[in-house]
Chain A
């Protein structure tokens, strides 16, 4: 093995377990990369290098002693700065939580630790995960490794940038309205947003309890399957996971020729920039070559579903933040404060009607797509725009701009569906373009399976940005 940075999560985990590489070597290599890339990307908010190296040495010792065969033994990861770890800062991209030390550990982090993972530090995020671009008034923007003048997407901005630049083998993120899928698309990595209720949200910072989903950004669908196997499952601390099925790794290898993919006739294919439309067409060619059945599908009007999602998100976020909104309003960034104010506009009846409609809306979606396993859709109309053109602050046009970026995201969160967002091509200017594989509820393994098949036939997920490009 030459350069550990070229390996995927699955490959490096295997190399460490089999002693082809030591955890200390791998962790040290990533820390060197972080030192080089961080001034360009602003991907990390804290790097705990010494702690990581101590943990790596312990992992290597356990392997040498024959007691270290855990799935992620000695593998360095980093996570969005909203996953609590006892005794560690979790500042959530905010001024309000500056200096806040978590009194407990999130279930997702605890499960990764139990699987042997090492923590490199904490990653940049939109303030309180309430922003889709990667801008942050307090931290400055995170920057895209393919072109640092362009956005990473958000809110899991540091997760997208760090994985793309090979500064961590995987990173936890959260997705309430696209916060895993947008950075995956803009940064050219693979993002897995599980079914709502499949992964515990306990002791991860909440934004909207009806929509929040904990997931992961990594290089490949196979990597996402490995993390999925570790973080999914029932957790007494999060009742939404009660009764959720155990992860089925065998099902992540479901044959593509037994999968039917639906392509929406409307909404997700409207107003796409030519580069994105071309990538969608090419992906269909690839899927057909894999033997996947492709049909067109008429989904219920997604604009109504999207409106319901916006109402639920706005009201729940404002409710979560109401105490700080009363006591510390000026400590929010302008855009986040403006968006939190938007949640004050809806009546209780509107909110509850939007919430009550969720079941019937999901039933209508499932009926309309009863003959398909997975829906193929773009993540966004465009590849990554520039930081400058998306620096919209909190003015009157901000909500319109945000809704434009998150247009293809919100219905999925409202319906609670699993999605794999994976790199599927690039724009004429060389920026990554991703697509969404949207599954049926608890069909997480099926979307991973199709992603694996797609990535066995393409190499977009293997493409790696160069630091020289970032400096140009």
Chain B
């Protein structure tokens, strides 16, 4: 997974979402989100394929009995 967001990548995703975004805005977005993307990528998360979003609910509900 790339850990750097480029204005080109932002423009591509915006186009696929059919949202109009000029070059200046794409550059601004890339600059704003880069630290977040880099920090998340640095965590090098390798999740087992069995993990899905609702795993969160299972873990949280496990505390009800505590």
Contact = CB atoms under 8 A, between A and B. Distances in A.
B40 A354 contact: yes
B57 A310 contact: no
A245 interface: yes
Contacts, number: 133
A362 interface: yes
B39 to A, nearest CB: 4
B55 A360 contact: yes
A398 B54 CA distance: 33
Interface residues of B, number: 41
Interface string A435-465: 0000011110000000000000000000000
Nearest to A301: B43
B60 A196 contact: yes
A208 to B, nearest CB: 13
B23 interface: no
Contact of B20 (A301, A326, A360, A395): A326
A442 B53 CA distance: 19
A358 B56 contact: yes
B19 A357 contact: no
Nearest to B11: A344
A38 interface: no
A443 B32 contact: no
Contacts of A311: 36-37, 40
A269 B47 CA distance: 30
Contacts of B64: 245, 441-442
Contacts of A346: 13, 33, 37
B30 A359 contact: no
Nearest to A243: B61
Interface in A335-387: 338, 341-342, 344-347, 349-350, 352-360, 362-363, 366
Contacts of A152: none
Interface string B49-63: 001111111111111
A366 B59 contact: yes
Given A356-B52, A357-B47, A362-B60, A341 B25 contact: yes
A199 interface: no
B55 to A, nearest CB: 3
Contact of B63 (A350, A356, A360, A442): A442
A443 B63 contact: yes
Interface string A306-318: 1110110010001
Interface in A271-314: 301, 303-304, 306-308, 310-311, 314
A204 B1 CA distance: 36
Nearest to A308: B40
B1 A349 contact: yes
A444 B60 CA distance: 13
A93 interface: no
Interface in B33-48: 33, 36-37, 39-40, 42-43, 45, 47
A353 B46 CA distance: 9
A325 interface: yes
Contacts of A349: 1
Interface string A150-187: 00000000000000000000000000000000000000
Given A358-B53, A362-B56, A350 B21 contact: no
A341 B29 contact: yes
A360 B47 contact: yes
Nearest to B63: A441
A344 B21 contact: yes
A359 B28 contact: no
B28 A396 contact: yes
Given A342-B33, A345-B37, A350-B37, A363 B20 contact: no
B7 to A, nearest CB: 10
Nearest to A414: B56
A197 B59 CA distance: 13
B47 A344 contact: no
29 contacts: A195-B60, A210-B53, A307-B43, A311-B37, A314-B33, A318-B17, A322-B18, A326-B18, A341-B14, A342-B29, A342-B33, A344-B10, A344-B17, A344-B21, A345-B10, A345-B29, A355-B53, A356-B53, A358-B55, A359-B51, A359-B54, A362-B59, A363-B59, A366-B59, A398-B32, A399-B32, A441-B62, A441-B64, A442-B64
Given A308-B40, A322-B17, 12 more contacts: A197-B57, A306-B39, A311-B37, A322-B19, A341-B25, A346-B37, A354-B40, A363-B59, A396-B31, A399-B32, A440-B66, A442-B61
